[in-house]
Amino acid sequence: MTSTSDARAAGTATSVHDVAVVGAGPSGLAMAIALARSGLFTVLIAPDVTAEDDRTTALLDSSVEMLKSLDLWERILPHAAPLAHMRIIDGTERLFRAPETVFDASELKLEAFGYNIRNRDLNRILGEAASGTEGLTRIHARFEGLEAGADCTRLDLETGEHVCVRLVVGADGRNSPVRDAVGIDTKTWRYPQAALIVNLDHDLPHRFHSTEFHTPTGPFTLVPLSGRGSSLVCVERPEVAQELAAMDDDTLALELERRARSVYGKMRIDGARQVYPLGGLTATRMGARRAALVGEAAHVFPPIGAQGLNLGLRDVAALVEIVVSARDRGEDIGSDEVLGRYERQRRADITSRTTAVDLLNRSLLTDMLPVQALRSIGLYLASRVAPLRRMLMREGIAPVLARPKLMRGLTLGR
Q: What pLDDT digit, counting tens, does each position of 207-216 carry?
A: 999 998 988 8
Query: Which domains does the chain show, CATH number per domain?
Result: 14-52+120-187+280-364 (3.50.50.60)
Residue 96 predicted with pLDDT over 60:
no
- Taking alpha carbons only, the member of 344, 357, 347, 366 closest to residue 95 is 366
Mean pLDDT of the 92-104 span: 69
**Lowest mean pLDDT across 28-37, 205-214, 248-257, 358-367:** 358-367
Mean pLDDT of the 354-370 span: 68
- Taking alpha carbons only, the member of 172, 170, 71, 63 closest to residue 117 is 63
Q: What are phi and psi of 70, to 5 degrees?
A: -95, 10
Q: For residue 376, what pLDDT is reported?
A: 62
Residue 344 identity (one-letter amino acid): R
Residue 277 predicted with pLDDT over 90:
yes
Say if residues 142 and 24 touch (Cβ distance below 8 Å): no
Q: For residue 211, what pLDDT is reported?
A: 93
Residue 268 predicted with pLDDT over 80:
yes
Mean pLDDT of the 22-44 span: 96
Q: For residue 4, what pLDDT is reported?
A: 37
Q: For residue 9, what pLDDT is reported?
A: 36
365: confidence class by pLDDT, cuts 50, 70, 90: low
Mean pLDDT of the 276-303 span: 94
SS (H, E, C) 133-168: CCCEEEECCCEEEEEECCCCEEEEECCCCEEEEEEE
> Could you tell me the pTM of the whole model?
0.88
Distance CA 18, CA 126 (A): 21
Highest averaged pLDDT of the listed ranges 79-93, 179-193, 345-359: 179-193
55: confidence class by pLDDT, cuts 50, 70, 90: confident
Q: In 3-state terms, what secondary structure has residue 366?
A: coil
85: confidence class by pLDDT, cuts 50, 70, 90: very high
Query: Over the stretch 290-330, which tens digit does the pLDDT of each residue have?
Result: 999 999 999 998 877 667 789 999 999 999 999 999 999 99
Helix locations, 77-202, DSSP H: 119-131, 177-181
Q: How far is CA 314 from the centre of its chain?
A: 9
**Lowest mean pLDDT across 52-56, 90-94, 281-285:** 90-94
